[in-house]
Copies of this chain bind each other. A is one copy, B any other.
């Protein structure tokens, strides 16, 4: 079992590249010290490389709570709502059951922005967090209430992005 320290609430937000990968890297770092990690990817069902690479890692549970398609922000498909709601319930169980040292809620900020989960629900969940568990939340547009509740917030700025220069969306890089 990992050395016990107070858990943190860590947020990776902003328009730049590196939010999900930073969370994945944090998870790998934690695993290296024997932590147990639960990682749930909201709004995503695609075979991201991190999902493929981590699916069978010991001490890591990885769950997807989305589909491999675009979610309509103005009028989300009921399936997308259901997947996010179900994912949130799973995340809550994972957080409260005490078997994990770290819980990663990937793209949860976007799920909140899309109205699939409310800010209040998210804040309530964080209030119920066991003291020693670290929670990592990613996605652009982190709500101010979350920034206030967090111990650490990194905003990732896109100083330069290859999308703008016409490069293709690359396997192994973007997903």
Contact with B along A140-160 (1 / 0, CB 8 A): 000000010011111111111
Q: Give the size range of A's interface with the partner.
A: 35 or more
* A28–B28 alpha-carbon span in the complex (Å): 9
Write the chain B residue with the least CB distance to A148.
Answer: B160
Taking the closest CB of chain B, its distance from the CB of A172, in whole angstroms, is 4
Q: Is A70's CB within 8 Å of the partner chain B?
A: no
- The prevalent SS among residues of A at the interface is mixed
Instruction: List, in ascending order, chain B residues with CB within 8 A of A167's CB.
Output: 6, 8, 151
Q: Is A38's CB within 8 Å of the partner chain B?
A: no
Number of this chain's copies in the complex: 2
| A171 B33 Cβ-Cβ under 8 A | yes
Contact with B along A20-52 (1 / 0, CB 8 A): 111111101111110100000000000111111
Q: Is A12's CB within 8 Å of the partner chain B?
A: yes
Write the chain B residue with the least CB distance to A101.
Answer: B172
Instruction: List, in ascending order, chain B residues with CB within 8 A of A53's CB.
Output: 28-29, 31-32
Instruction: List, in ascending order, chain B residues with CB within 8 A of A52's CB.
Output: 32-33
| A29 B21 Cβ-Cβ under 8 A | yes
Can you offer 10 A-B residue contacts whose CB atoms are under 8 A?
A12-B18, A21-B22, A23-B25, A24-B29, A25-B25, A26-B173, A29-B50, A32-B49, A32-B51, A155-B157
